[in-house]
Amino acid sequence: MSKLLKNALIYVFMICIICSLTAITKVKVKGEVETRKKKPSVEEIKQAVNNGKEQAIRKWAATLESQRLQLMNSLIPEILKNLDLYVLEASQLSDGEWINGKWQVNLEVSINDSQIDLLANQRSQSNRQKQQDTYLSFIYVAREVSSVETFDNTVIKTSASSNSSSNRTTNDNDRVEHTKVSGNTDIITTQVGQASSNTQVDQQTDSASTSLKTRDAIDVSGKSFNRDEDTSVAVKVISSASLDKTRSSSSTTQDTNVQQEFQGRTDTNIQTNGNTVTTTVSSNTTNRNMDSSILSKSLSAGSVVKSSEGIAYRVFNPQEIDSKVTEIFNKAGIDVVPAYEANITSEQLAFDFASIGEVSSSTQKEATDLARDAGLDFLAIGLLDLGREEIDPVTGQYKIYARVNGYIMDLRKRFASKICSVGPVQYSGLGENPSVAKINALIEASTKASQDLVDQLRVKMGM
């Protein structure tokens, strides 16, 4: 009787412990057992349920991040040995059915996450006991946008006048044209319109030398033209004859005929007949005729210079995350040494991060040297980049994104080497005001990054 009571007590005590620790993840799987019987025996049903539990563990592990999965893979044999400890319950969703020599049953399996975490930490600790104490120090620096300077567009306008006149006739539906004259005549025609367009440019000139120069400079770029789909045509006519020169010979007239036809590929024929330059580009479906007896008298042009916004950053040492990150490293059995113990200050790293967006080699070298001199095994560095606040469309709360980059330097060998790294990864934090959202984003980003780094470290170290 007293033995029975003792057992019952132990059972209830275990339930208490499990209830207080439990973080349950539910996984749906099909458990199966090979059998010839359509109505399986009790033993076979048990086997199918056990099979389902095993599959549930594997399915759950498959959802973990790669480093955690790698760590979990080494633990799975041990978990499978004590399935009842790590699987709280397996509820049957169906009565089961026999298909092709297998009896299958749908199960909803509740996995005890906390218990598995406990196992991972125990494994890490026991491995650590076999090894020497491991000392690590971490420095996490963060930056946020303090001000953004935007610039108005710089508009540059130039104009030139000539006594030329321009006359164009086109059948295009939509058209964008840019004409720029700067010393030399430089006509750029960019056109967006229907596939069937006709353009004809006629230029006549009495001056042989001018016509030759004009011929040399005519350039029709229509290679990218697609007669069926893309209806943009760019025609660039560059005449080296300056407007001043054209104006000085008042009798000069230009009459250039440009006929364009595109036929799968672009063919350009420039025919010089006396003083006339004719460019022909053939096509089945697209004809462009542009009559330009002479260039316009007054031409103006300009350019717009758009400057990128100037962003100034404010850097800070996020104290809020210190205890959380320390907890993660401690749970993994790593002794965390405060950075000041190794005379490493975060200011230099912060300065680099604010100015160049990363930690410079010299600063890194300085920090690793100090850490090595202090007898540390590892130095973890995390760089957190906070975005600007925005309103979350779902909750209406403030939302801030945090991008994190982190790595751990191994200082045990002659040369410091990066043995694990994470990022850049983005996380977000929500809050009723921007500062709460910021802290939440920092905690989320640093916790996830640290957990990933710890998992990688465990794998590398065999912890």
Contacts with other proteins, residue ranges (CB under 8 A) = 1-2, 5-6, 8-9, 12-13, 15-16, 19, 23-24, 26, 28-30, 45, 88-89, 91-95, 106, 108, 391, 393-397, 430, 432
CB of 3 to other proteins, least distance (A): 10
User: Which of residues 23 and 208 has its CB atom nearest to other proteins in the complex?
Assistant: 23
Q: How far apart are CA 331 and CA 320, in angstroms?
A: 18
In b/e form, how buried is each residue of 128-164, taking b as 16+ CB within 10 angstroms? beeeeebbbbbbbbbbbeeeeeeeeeeeeeeebebeb
Q: How far apart are CA 334 and CA 137, in angstroms?
A: 10
Given the structure tokens 């991972």, which residue do they identify? 120
User: What is the DSSP annotation of 258-319?
Assistant: EEEEEESEE-EEEEEETTEEEEEEE-SS-EEE---SS--SEEEEEEEEPPPPEEEEEEE--G
User: Which of residues 14 and 311 has its CB atom nearest to other proteins in the complex?
Assistant: 14
CB of 436 to other proteins, least distance (A): 11
Contact status, residue 309 vs residue 437, Cβ threshold 8 Å: no
CB of 426 to other proteins, least distance (A): 16
Contact status, residue 172 vs residue 194, Cβ threshold 8 Å: yes
Cα radius of gyration (the chain): 38
CB of 439 to other proteins, least distance (A): 15
User: Which of residues 14 and 356 has its CB atom nearest to other proteins in the complex?
Assistant: 14
Q: Which two tokens stand for residue 258?
A: 């440009």
User: Which of residues 155 and 394 has its CB atom nearest to other proteins in the complex?
Assistant: 394
CB of 197 to other proteins, least distance (A): 42
Contact status, residue 232 vs residue 251, Cβ threshold 8 Å: no
CB of 26 to other proteins, least distance (A): 7
CB of 91 to other proteins, least distance (A): 6
User: Which of residues 8 and 356 has its CB atom nearest to other proteins in the complex?
Assistant: 8
CB of 396 to other proteins, least distance (A): 3
CB of 392 to other proteins, least distance (A): 9
Q: Which amino acid is at 341?
A: E
Q: How far apart are CA 248 and CA 250, in angstroms?
A: 6
User: What is the DSSP annotation of 138-193?
Assistant: EEEEEEEEEEEE--PPEEEEEEEE-S------B--SS-EEEEEEESEEEEEEEEE-
Question: 138 - beta bridge partners?
Answer: 380
Q: How far apart are CA 293 and CA 204, in angstroms?
A: 8
User: Which of residues 5 and 304 has its CB atom nearest to other proteins in the complex?
Assistant: 5
CB atoms within 10 A of CB 334: 25
CB of 446 to other proteins, least distance (A): 20
- What is the SS3 assignment for 330? helix
82: which DSSP letter?
T
User: Which of residues 104 and 203 has its CB atom nearest to other proteins in the complex?
Assistant: 104
User: Which of residues 219 and 432 has its CB atom nearest to other proteins in the complex?
Assistant: 432
User: Which of residues 16 and 311 has its CB atom nearest to other proteins in the complex?
Assistant: 16
Contact status, residue 373 vs residue 174, Cβ threshold 8 Å: no
CB of 23 to other proteins, least distance (A): 7
User: Which of residues 104 and 170 has its CB atom nearest to other proteins in the complex?
Assistant: 104
Contact status, residue 64 vs residue 97, Cβ threshold 8 Å: no
